[in-house]
Amino acid sequence: MSDASEYFEHGADVGLIGRGATLEEAFEAAAAALFGIMTDVSAVKAEQAVSVEFEEADVELALVRWLNALLGQSQERKLALGRFWIERDGVCWRGGASGEPWRAGLERGVEVKGATLTGLLVTQAAGGWEARCVVDV
Amino acid sequence: MDLGQLQQVDAWCWTAPRRSGETRGEIRLYGSAELVAAMDDKVLEQITNVARLPGLVGPAMAMPDAHWGYGFPIGGVAAFDPDAGGIISAGGVGFDISCGIRSLRSNLTVADIEPALAPLADALFRTIPAGVGEEGEIRLGPGALDAVLEGGARWAVAAGYGSEADLEFLEEGGSIGGAVPESVSALAKKRQRGEMGTLGSGNHYLEVQVVERIYDAAAAQAYGVREGQVIVCIHCGSRGLGHQIGTEFLVSLAAGASRLGIRLPDRELACAPIRSPEGEQYIGAMNAAMNCALANRQILAHLARDAFRRVLPDARLDTLFDVSHNTCKAEEHVVGGKQRLLFVHRKGATRAFGPGHPALPARYRAVGQPVIIGGSMGTGSYILAGAATSEARAFASASHGAGRAMSRHQALKRWRGRQLIDELRARGILIRTRSMRGAAEEAPGAYKDVDEVAGATEQAGLARRVALLRPRVCIKG
């Protein structure tokens, strides 16, 4: 996982942070942080792709919807996901990820149940964008 | 939490006075001074926000094991009147809808399992799908899954998982009324494919425990529990289906609250009036998820029995009770001398009906409902009984676990999974897991003192201690 993905303290669950030069990069880094709780994302092979699409005007709710859409796809398809991309066109968001079916040898971390609205913050600073929220594990 | 900002109601109950001009309901924090002082400031902030929600009846309460959650604190209890604008909150139930504990009492003693402990741990680990990425063997089409969502544990028994005898000792007889499978999205149903009969990960577990001490002989006798006896506890919930329902309604109710005339003090308290199309839709989906959780624990109980019998052919595991601790239930409660229908949110809190409650199985009615406080994998758990005072104190609610004292992040910095597992083995506790990270995050030292939580729960009049259980085998996800 790159330096763009980081974690912050939460009493029972896990707070995650994604940073990037653009909003989209910050969202991608947040996704890497989320799946980094479940496995070593750098070891996940890009064998299969999933795609997500949604409309959301509120960028903070968009972060939650993006992360939860990936979780839903990952669980429905029984895939470990490792690489992520997202594009924004106004209120329309299109993104996806690549990964592989869970296999022996992939690190087993902790299952994430969902991204929450707690600690939810998407901000733009001098160095770029930061997207953060608490995820329920 | 600074106790200086609180007022003591009695020896085991605290409140926060309202500021000038502040309009909200009462707050109660249950526990010893030490436990309340150790709670995160966020617990007070979150329970104060709950006290601002419409239609609240009685106080918004935090149990002795309360800690920072999302929306409600974990260990939060609040009741709402549907006929007074009361709300149902997706954030007050949580993602893992109807997460709970199934406890099974065995005909075995510690002497019976001691020589077979490692084979038993291995058999359970092979039989119980646990951890991220693990799937169960049960595959259900959409029609069959709808039957699960309507039937709960009754569906599981009819499908051959367990027996009718189990159902008497499950909340609502194992099947929650008011489930509406049509209110559950297609994605939620797809996420459940391969998830039936799986344990999950995080703080979920299957433990083989031994009764170390009896506190209440009459209740222990009613529950069929005695010193030295082997007990099995299974902690898990509604899996991917419940997570998806929580996810979807959390966002949609948060986005739609203002349209429904609700000013949310925290978006995570996403809610709708109970008597509204949005509220009714969530309630239908939530009840379906509760049935999913009840069916899941029923299947896991069946799998545990199979694993036990492969190692100890004469083993018998009967259901002691099944308690959910992430729920909102429609219940009758007496408020100000008047019987009222209330929707009681218990997020990380267990229902604890006292002696004589008509909803209890006849065998337990005289002593009160079994309550399970699950501890960490290295310390212990408690069986308690709903107390006569439970109703007046907290709408018949009690603690659900030890409660975390340290974040997962901090725990990871402090412990290594392999080392922890070796240390526990040296103490006679066998851990089986695929996740060294998960083991480290669940280190016993990352949890509050379960003895203190159980003691405070009893002293606060929420439930009384019946038995102390010590872990011997723990299957972790």
Interface predicted TM-score (ipTM) of this complex, two decimals: 0.91
Q: Would you call B407 and A10 a contact, using CB atoms and an 8 Å cutoff?
A: yes
Average the pLDDT over B367-390 and give the result.
96
The model's confidence at residue B433, banded by pLDDT at 50, 70 and 90, is very high
Q: How far apart are the C-alpha atoms of A134 and A12, rounded to whole Å?
A: 10
- Give the model's pLDDT for residue B193: 84
| pLDDT tens, position by position, A35-49 | 999 999 999 999 999
Answer for the pair B69, A12: CB distance below 8 angstroms, yes or no: yes
- The values of phi and psi at residue B302, to 5°, are -65, -45
pTM of the full structure: 0.96
**Out of B67, B68, B132, closest to residue A109 by CB:** B132
The strand ranges marked E within chain A are: 5-8, 14-20, 48-55, 79-89, 92-101, 114-115, 121-125, 128-136
Active site residue B400: yes
Rounded to a whole number of angstroms, the distance from the CA of B265 to the nearest CA of chain A is 12
In Å, how far are A25, A97, A100, B440 from A41, measured between CA atoms? Answer: 16, 11, 11, 19
Output the pLDDT for position B438: 92
Contacts of A136 in chain B (CB under 8 A): 70, 94-96
Chain B residues with CB inside 8 Å of A111's CB?
Answer: 131-132, 200-202, 477
pLDDT over 70 (residue A55): yes
Confidence category of residue A1, pLDDT binned at 50, 70, 90: low
Closest to A71 (Cα-Cα) out of A25, A26, A135 = A135
Q: Taking the domains of chain B in order of start, what are their residue ranges?
A: 3-405+447-476
Whole-angstrom distance, CA of residue B476 vs CA of residue B437: 11
Cβ-count burial of A18 within 10 angstroms (0-12 exposed, 13-18 middle, 19+ buried)? buried
* Residues facing B345 on adjacent strands: B78, B328
Residue B364: per-residue pLDDT: 98
How confident is the model at residue B143, as a pLDDT? 83
* Whole-number Å distance between alpha carbons of B470 and B459: 22
d(CA B345, CA B72): 9
**What is the average pLDDT score of chain B?**
95
Give pLDDT tens digits for A73-115: 999 999 999 999 999 999 999 999 999 999 999 999 999 999 9
Kindly report the nearest CA distance between residue A20 and chain B, in angstroms.
23
Task: Write the DSSP symbol of residue A56.
Answer: -
Taking the Cβ of residue A33 and every Cβ of chain B, the question of whether any pair is shorter than 8 Å is answered with no
Taking only the tens place, the pLDDT of each residue in B96-143 is 999 999 999 999 999 999 999 999 999 999 999 999 988 888 888 778
List residues bridging with B89 in a β-sheet: B271
pLDDT at position B139: 87
Whole-Å CA distances, B245 to A45, B96, B362, B432:
30, 9, 34, 30
pLDDT of the residue at B141: 78
Residue with tokens 């149902």: B88
φ, ψ of residue B326 in degrees (nearest 5): -135, 85
**By 3-state DSSP, what share of chain B in percent is helix, strand and coil, each rounded to 5?**
40, 30, 35
Note the pLDDT of residue B274. 97
A111 part of contact set with chain B, CB < 8 Å: yes
Q: How close, in Å, is residue B301 to chain A by CA atoms?
A: 22
B387 has a pLDDT exceeding 90: yes
Any B CB within 8 A of A108 CB: yes
Distance from C-alpha of A59 to C-alpha of A124, rounded to nearest angstrom: 11
pLDDT band, residue A8 (cuts 50/70/90):
confident
Phi, psi of B121 (to 5 degrees): -60, -40
The residue among A9 and B417 whose pLDDT is bigger is B417
Determine the 3-state secondary structure of B257 from DSSP.
coil
Q: Which residue has the higher pLDDT, A9 or A135?
A: A135
- What is the reported pLDDT for B21? 86
Q: What is the dihedral of CA A112, B99, B303, A111, to 10 degrees?
A: 10
Strands annotated E in B175-218: 205-214
CA angle B98, B100, B101 (to 5 degrees): 155
Residue A2 clears pLDDT 80, i.e. is over it: no
Rounded Cα gap, residues B163 and B153, in angstroms: 10
Residues of B in contact with A71 (CB under 8 A): 243, 247
B17, pLDDT greater than 70: yes
**What are phi and psi for residue A125, nearest 5 degrees?**
-125, -175
Count of CB atoms situated within 10 Å of the CB of B258: 10
- Quick one: average pLDDT of B190-195? 89
Report the amino acid identity of residue B327. T
Distance from the A41 Cα atom to the nearest Cα atom in chain B, whole angstroms? 14
Q: Domains of chain A (ranges plus CATH)?
A: 5-136 (3.55.10.10)
Interchain pair B96, A136: CB under 8 A: yes
CATH architecture of B3-405+447-476: Alpha-Beta Complex (3.90)
Residue A61 sits at the chain B interface (C-beta within 8 Å) = yes
Residue A102 contacts B, CB cutoff 8 Å = yes
CB contact under 8 A, B404 and A10: no
Give the residue with greater pLDDT, B20 vs B279: B279
Please name the residue that has the structure tokens 């079994």. B370
pLDDT digit string, tens, across residues B208-220: 999 999 999 999 9
Q: Mean pLDDT over residues B3-18, rounded?
A: 95
Mean pLDDT of B350-366: 97
Give, in order, the Cα–Cα distances in Å from B342 to each of B2, B107, B269: 32, 40, 18
Inter-residue contact A120 to A57 (CB < 8 Å) = no
Write the residue in A7, A61, A118 that is nearest to B409 by C-beta.
A7
pLDDT at B442 over 80: yes
* pLDDT in the model for residue B23: 87
Cα B416 to Cα A9, B167, B307, B351, B443, distances in angstroms: 19, 41, 29, 35, 9
Q: Up-side HSE of residue B117: CA atoms within 13 Å toward CB?
A: 19
